[in-house]
């Protein structure tokens, strides 16, 4: 199973969610990042129209959501279980991970088995009994003066990190930049610099006796642009137009 | 200014937001990550009770939010402007960043100047004119089959990455770029584009009846260079020399 497909093995578990709208928003957040498996432990109201509304067409995730009575029922087949914590559990001997490191572990394990990320109640998080079922805790580094992260936002960040971790597999990486127009050759750039130098000398902007410094500055400037062939055409066309000016 | 304090210099700009609730959710998302500066370009309804409700006590951000008539008014003092794009702008020669790389640049620049991240309308994103004011685009890597990221969720992810970037130990950040000159303001770049446009019209290279496409291409090209003040002096001096040519 490839890394990107491992997202199918990452289960999001929401415990006793009070607001059905949050379940819908969480489903939407999951789906934008390619996650699909949702378990709900004793939700206050589900199915619920508000959940459907907030899911914004991620209704397939809601339709396939599994409702269970206890957290253990949501985890039986999972090899790795990570609990989310809004607080820094300083007093506990927990292995607290940042979302990024946590996602790496989740994606790795999910290549061969089910894994789960558990999100507690909106108001009070996870109980000690629930924490005891988790192998790790993940803490999203929030503003210490205001850590009021919405449930769906927490799901969004963890799902986002899982997606990024799943994309690390080099064969899956088709970066956006690869698809943009290619860069010009070094040769073509040399042609441009030559053209620029001549035009500047003609315009008395560059002293041919001491051309070095100015050309160096301009090479540095244009050198970091990654100019495309069509852009170079524009720049050279412009230069020619300036040269022709009477 | 330390890296963590640079969050105060990162401005979130929301354009023509339709749902006031989204403005509140975005404020909450910002505050959980330590961001505070919100600009609203022609919001449909603001202030609005729904925004307050959804902000969940991030009302200070809403109270201090600045409402403006045009995107340019929200950017005049900004040295770096990043636009968010839901689509892969494949055909354009944009410098498209991932949120992580984008956040690093924002935090770095924000140590000495204002920077902005621009979010478009819920339905239709940013117009081409708005994109033209951005130096870079950031694309959140979503599920290609379902990229329906909620506005506040997009703000959440970008803010989260900014917070992470700000938490990197400043002593680890000793790249060569830190020692380079700072970049020019959006205002200064607008002055350059105006100058360029006039010079090109004088040289019959630009048809003032249909200036749009060419200026857009040039804005995109120069927008991704991170031009410094002394470089801008060179470019403007060169233009003036070309204009004076007999």
Number of neighbours of residue B120 by Cβ within 10 angstroms: 24
Instruction: Look up the CATH architecture of domain B4-176.
Output: 3-Layer(aba) Sandwich (3.40)
Domain with CATH 1.10.8.590 in chain B: 181-244
Nearest to A229 by CA among B94, B93, B220, B128: B93
ipTM metric: 0.74
H-helix segments, chain A? 20-32, 49-55, 59-63, 71-75, 99-110, 128-131, 151-167, 176-179, 186-202, 212-223, 229-244
Q: Which of residues 104-143 of A touch B (CB under 8 A)?
A: 140-143
Packing angle between helix A186-202 and helix A229-244, nearest 10 degrees?
20
Chain B environment of A58 (Cβ under 8 Å): 146, 148
Please, which residues have CB within 8 angstroms of residue B49's CB and are 6 or more apart in sequence?
Answer: B20
Pairing of strands B78-84, B114-119: parallel
Question: How many Cβ pairs closer than 8 A exist between chain A and B?
Answer: 152
The CATH 3.40.1280.10 domain(s) of chain B lie at 4-176
How confident is chain B (246 residues) per 10-residue block, as mean pLDDT?
Answer: 80 97 98 97 97 95 98 94 76 74 94 95 89 90 92 97 84 41 83 92 88 84 86 91 80
CATH 3.40.1280.10 region(s) of chain A? 4-172
Please give the pLDDT value at position B28.
98
Do A179 and B34 lie within an 8 Å CB cutoff?
no
What is the CATH topology of the domain spanning A4-172? Alpha/beta knot (3.40.1280)
Rounded to an integer, what is the distance from CA B193 to the centroid of its chain?
Answer: 17
Judged by a CB distance cut-off of 8 A, whether residue B66 touches chain A is no
Quick one: CA torsion of B211, B214, B216, B218, rounded to 10 degrees?
A: -130
Hey, what are A67's tokens? 């409702």
DSSP string, A63-95: HT-EEESSHHHHHTTEEEEEEE-SS--TTS---
Identify from B30, B53, B160, B223 which residue to disrupt to test chain A contact, counting A C-beta atoms within 10 A and taking the largest count.
Answer: B160
Cα separation, B168 vs B57, in Å, equals 28
- Smallest CA-to-CA distance from B239 within A146, A245, A62, A51 is with A245
Residues in chain B: 246
**Nearest CB to B203: which of A28, A177, A241?**
A241
pLDDT-flagged residues of chain A (< 50): 91, 170-180
DSSP category for residue A106: H
What whole-number distance in Å separates Cα of residue B39 and Cα of residue B68? Answer: 7
Q: Tell me if A203 and B242 make a contact (CB, 8 A cut-off).
A: yes
What would the 3-class secondary structure string for chain B be? CCCHHHHHHEEEEEECCCCHHHHHHHHHHHHHCCCCEEEEECCCCCCCHHHHHHHCCCHHHHHCCEEECCHHHHHCCEEEEEEECCCCCCCCCCCEECHHHHHHHHHHHHCCCEEEEEECECCCECCHHHHCCCCEEECCCCECCECCCCHHHHHHHHHHHHHHHHHCCHHHCCCHHHHCCCCCCHHHHHHHHHHHHHHHHHCCCCCCCCCHHHHHHHHHHHHCCCCCHHHHHHHHHHHHHHHHCC
Q: Which residues of B touch A230 (CB under 8 A)?
A: 93, 217
Residues B165, B10: Cα–Cα separation, whole Å: 12
| β-pair partners for A80 | A115
Q: Give me B26's structure tokens.
A: 């975005």
Partner-chain contact A203 B245, CB within 8 Å: yes
The values of phi and psi at residue B9, to 5°, are: -95, 0
Contacts of residue B221 in chain A, CB cutoff 8 Å? 225, 227, 231, 234-235
CATH architecture, range B181-244:
Orthogonal Bundle (1.10)
Give the pLDDT score at A4: 64
What pLDDT score does B6 carry?
Answer: 92
Locate tokens 């959940």: which residue?
A51
Contact A41, A75 (CB under 8 A): no
Report yes or no: A33 at the B interface, CB cutoff 8 Å. Answer: yes
In chain A, which segments carry CATH 1.10.8.590?
179-244
CA torsion angle A163 A168 A171 A172 (round to 10)? 20
Q: Give every CB contact of residue A63 below 8 A, 6+ residues apart in sequence.
A: none
The Cβ-side half-sphere exposure at B197, using a 13 Å CA radius, reads 17
- What CATH number has the domain spanning A179-244? 1.10.8.590
- Please answer yes or no on whether B225 and A227 come within 8 Å at the CB atom: no
- Cβ neighbours of B96 in A, within 8 Å: 176-177, 180
Residues of chain A with Cβ-Cβ distance to B140 below 8 Å are 160
Specify which residues B116 forms β-bridges with.
B11, B81
| A167 chain-B contacts, CB cut-off 8 A | 141
User: Cα A224–A228–A230 angle (5° rounding)?
Assistant: 140
């Amino acid at each position: 199973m490839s890394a990107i497909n491992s997202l199918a093995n990452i289960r999001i578990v929401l415990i006793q969610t009070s607001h059905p709208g949050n379940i819908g928003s969480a489903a939407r957040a999951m789906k934008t990042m390619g996650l699909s498996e949702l378990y709900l432990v004793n939700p206050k109201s589900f199915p619920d129209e508000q959940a459907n509304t907030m899911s914004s067409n991620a209704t397939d995730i809601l339709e396939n959501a599994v409702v269970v009575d206890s957290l253990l029922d949501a985890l039986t087949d999972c090899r790795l279980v990570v609990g989310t914590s809004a607080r820094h559990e300083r007093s506990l001997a927990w292995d607290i991970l940042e979302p990024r490191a946590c996602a790496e572990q989740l994606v790795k394990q999910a290549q061969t088995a089910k894994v789960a990320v558990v999100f507690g109640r909106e108001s009070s998080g996870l109980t000690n009994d629930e924490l005891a079922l988790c192998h790790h805790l993940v803490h999203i580094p929030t503003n210490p003066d205001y850590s009021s992260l919405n449930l769906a936002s927490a799901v969004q960040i963890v799902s986002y990190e899982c997606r990024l971790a799943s994309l690390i597999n080099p064969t899956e990486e088709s970066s956006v930049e690869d698809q943009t127009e290619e860069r010009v050759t070094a040769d073509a750039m040399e042609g441009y610099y030559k053209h620029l130098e001549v035009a500047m000398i003609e315009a008395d902007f560059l002293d041919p006796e001491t051309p070095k410094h100015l050309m160096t500055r301009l090479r540095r400037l244009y050198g970091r642009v990654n100019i495309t062939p069509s852009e170079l055409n524009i720049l050279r066309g412009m230069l020619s137009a300036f040269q022709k000016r009477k």
